[in-house]
Structure 1
Amino acid sequence: MTATLEQLRRCHFAVDLGAARTRVYVRGAGLVVDQPSAAAVNTRTGALIAVGEFAERMTGRTPDYIRVVRPVSGGTVVDIDMAQRMLRHLLGDKVRRALRRKPFLRAAVCTPHDADPLAQRAAIETLVGLGARRVELVDTLIAAAVGCGLPVEQPEASMIMVCGAAATEVAVLSLGNIVTAERVRVGGEAVDHAIVQHLRHEHELMLPSQNVRPLQLALSGNGLTAQGPASTEIHGRDVCTGLARSVQVDTAAVRDAIQTPLTAVLDSIGKVLRDCPPDLVADLADRGIMMVGGSALLPGFDEMLRQATSMPVHIAERPDVCAVQGLGTMLEGRIEPLELDPAA
């Protein structure tokens, strides 16, 4: 269950454990951690070699006895012990000592909308291992809506789409609660994978795993829209010879390859609108959809949604940190619940 505002005001720090990045907000200090959710481990000794950005750069470049692991998958902790070790190193000794001084340490953590009890328990156990005596669970949709400034507590509809690395969540909010929501396991990673597979099958080209971002290379200009450049040059490794090679890629073909995973996102928006009360749908005609999450920055994604839904589509000012900023806003007590006017 999502914690109440009163419970969140008592929390000392909040964590957003994402498949791509981990973010930590400490009350009074702000955002203190914003690093990739990755850790490099020596499989011979079990020692932790690196976490965050350094571990991310090591992916695909290590000897056999060093393994880069991701303890979070799809917003769910899949390796509690490694997630705890990663968070300890990301926080650092200074922050951890400051938190340990709290007599009854409370924490808040984001969880996906459809998280099952096992996934919720894994998130709680991760923060309990850091010293938290009590852990409050907050729905990612609510936290992200607060972080991007939507009037969540008002009796009017707000539609939000959280575009994560492993999944996309779409919801309509009103009066501080979720009216209807849908989650599809399609995110930035699925789009990246679609582009990589297209280049492999059509051009027999393999892209490096980390040092080359396929989206930034294959999409430029207006991205998913037809007004972008007709072709772009991609550098990679030939599948047959293993040698470095460059090819000219038709961006129209790349857009077609991306359409398959993005179609599932469009279907989820349609399902949410069909399940939503008509009065709230009328509000959305003017307010539109707010996009948050790192994958919301996919070039041309917002324009594609505008054409498909005929609704206004907006991207938050800092879409990648909206969820943790929303947690911070609630921790600091900067959001007030709706108060009814006294009867005359």
Structure 2
Amino acid sequence: MAKDIGIDLGTANVLINVKGKGIVLNEPSVVAIDTHTGKVLAVGTEAYKMVGRTPGNIRSIRPLKDGVIADFDITEAMLEYFINKLNVKGVFSKPNILICAPTNITDIEQKAIIQAAEKSGGRHVYLEFEPKVAAVGAGLDIFQPQGNMVIDIGGGTSDIAVLSLGEIVTSRSLRLAGDKMDASIAAYVKNKHKLIIGEHTAEQIKIKIGAVYEADEKETIEVRGRDIATGLPREVSVTSVEVAEALHETMMAIIEGAKGVLEKTPPELSADIIDRGIMLTGGGALLKGISQLFAAELKVPVLLADDPLDAVALGTGVLLDNIEHHRQY
């Protein structure tokens, strides 16, 4: 008998929740291929280790960009690899799949996600929007007649939504999230320290000393890269204050997006949000001081989910129990 699965198909990571078992897979959304033969050489963690370190005939590809499929065949190969790895298919049956997507994607982009899941081994494929699933995974009861607001800051998109009675009332999806933050950090280090660093290094800076509010000048990290002038390897020290400066523009853009959603929210639901606060989920929610920054700018209490990285995947596990109520394609 096949086991139903929920997939958080993220730009940065793929998480899979198997019904009855919980989250059993969390790997980077990266595939390494041989450009000469087109053969897939590695998927997930193994492929991620190769990013920026491959010879000319090997490419490490992120098949998702800004929360949507940029390379259909590679996405399909990646999903198929992960699903086969979990051994969730029955002898004569395939699993039902609940898969998540950003709120503002087009019908064509939705169909691409559905088709990739079907071709990778799904029987019936159901689509739900990320902020709704993240809210459920964070423990919010979105099925009551009351307003709940969630901001899910992932790798490719930041999804902002107000929910009531199990549905999205108003929402916005911004293609500004973890990847944009990494690029901003790399650009800042290049401009200020005249050092070129890779995306992997920029991500490590963000994870280790990333802060957006009341950053500590004493918190530093040693960073290695290539000197712009000499082309030789060099090491510099980057502070948490510098990272906050690099991330400021992206943070303000997400805050403006949240203000736009709040402005479109019906007054009764706005009153509920003042009482209940805004829930932050996604990897971006782990940045130091982010809840304080959002609370200061939005004038509303802001809460951090207990497990922000896993919120969407945890939400798929809850929703799998009532899978027939979801949108089927």
TM-score by length of 2: 0.91
Q: Which residue of 1 aligns with 2:83?
A: 91
Q: Which residue of 2 aligns with 1:188?
A: 178
The SS at the match of 2:217 is coil
Q: CA deviation at 1:148?
A: 0.8
Larger C-alpha radius of gyration, 1 or 2? 1
1:147 to 123, 126, 137: 137
Contact conserved, 1:231 with 1:248, CA < 8 A, in 2? no
1:267 aligns with 2:256: yes
How far the C-alpha of 1:268 sits from its partner, in A, is: 0.9
- Map of 1:21 onto structure 2: 13
For residues 227 and 111 of structure 1, the distance between their equivalents in structure 2, rounded to whole angstroms, comes to 33
Aligned CA distance change for structure 1 residues 216 and 140 (closer, same or farther; 3 Å): closer
Structural mapping, 1:40-59, within 5 Å: 40-59=32-51
Q: 223-232 vs 158-167, which deviates more?
A: 223-232
- Are the counterparts in 1 of residues 147 and 273 from structure 2 also a CA contact under 8 Å? yes
How many Å separate the matches in 2 of 1:20 and 1:114? 18
Paired position in structure 2 for 1:5: none
2:247 aligned partner, one-letter code: I
State the AA in 2 paired with 1:234. E
Name the TM-score, length of structure 1 as normaliser: 0.87
Corresponding residue to 1:165 among 127, 136, 155:
155
Q: Partner of 1:341 in structure 2?
A: none
1:211 positional shift? 4.8
Q: 2:224, 2:235 within 8 Å by CA — same for their partners in 1?
A: yes
User: Displacement of 1:118 after TM fit?
Assistant: 0.7
Question: Is 1:11–1:108's contact at 8 Å kept on the other side of the alignment?
Answer: no
Which residue identity is paired with 2:316? L
Hey, what's the Cα distance between the residues in 2 that align with 1:259 and 1:184? 16
* Distance in 2 between residues matched to 1:233 and 1:14, nearest whole Å: 37
- 1:154 Cα deviation from its structure 2 partner: 0.5
Q: Does 1:236 align with 2:224?
A: yes
Aligned to 1:215: 206
* Shift, 1:254, TM fit: 3.6
* 2:187 matched residue in structure 1: 197
Q: In structure 2, how many angstroms separate the alpha carbons of the residues matched to 1:100 and 1:293?
A: 36
- The alpha-carbon deviation at position 299 of structure 1 amounts to 1.5
In structure 2, what residue type is equivalent to 1:141? Answer: P
RMSD: 2.4
Residue among 272, 278, 284 paired with 1:283: 272
Task: Give the 3 Å change call, closer, same or farther, for CA 286–106 of structure 1 in structure 2.
Answer: same
SS of residue matched to 1:195: helix
For residue 297 of structure 1, report the CA deviation from its aligned partner: 0.6
The residue aligned with 1:294 is 283
Equivalent in 98, 102, 105 of residue 112 of structure 1: 102
Q: Separation in 2 of the partners of 1:153 and 1:100?
A: 36
Match of 2:293 among 291, 300, 304: 304
Cα distance in 1 for partners of 2:209, 2:19 equals 40
* Structure 2 gap segments, 5+ residues each: none
- Paired residue secondary structure (1:16): strand
- Percent identical residues: 32
Is the 8 Å Cα contact of residues 191 and 258 (structure 1) preserved in structure 2? yes
The aligned counterpart of 2:24 is: 32
The equivalent residue for 1:77 is: 69
- Matched-pair contact (CA < 8 Å) for 1:233–1:248: yes
Does the 8 Å CA contact 1:217/1:234 hold for their aligned counterparts? no
Aligned to 1:340: none
Contact 1:218/1:249 (<8 A) preserved: no
Tell me whether 1:174 sits opposite 2:164 in the alignment: yes
Q: 1:244 to 1:21 in 2, by over 3 A?
A: same
Q: Which amino acid aligns with 1:140?
A: E
Alignment of 1:117-136 (within 5 A): 117-136=107-126
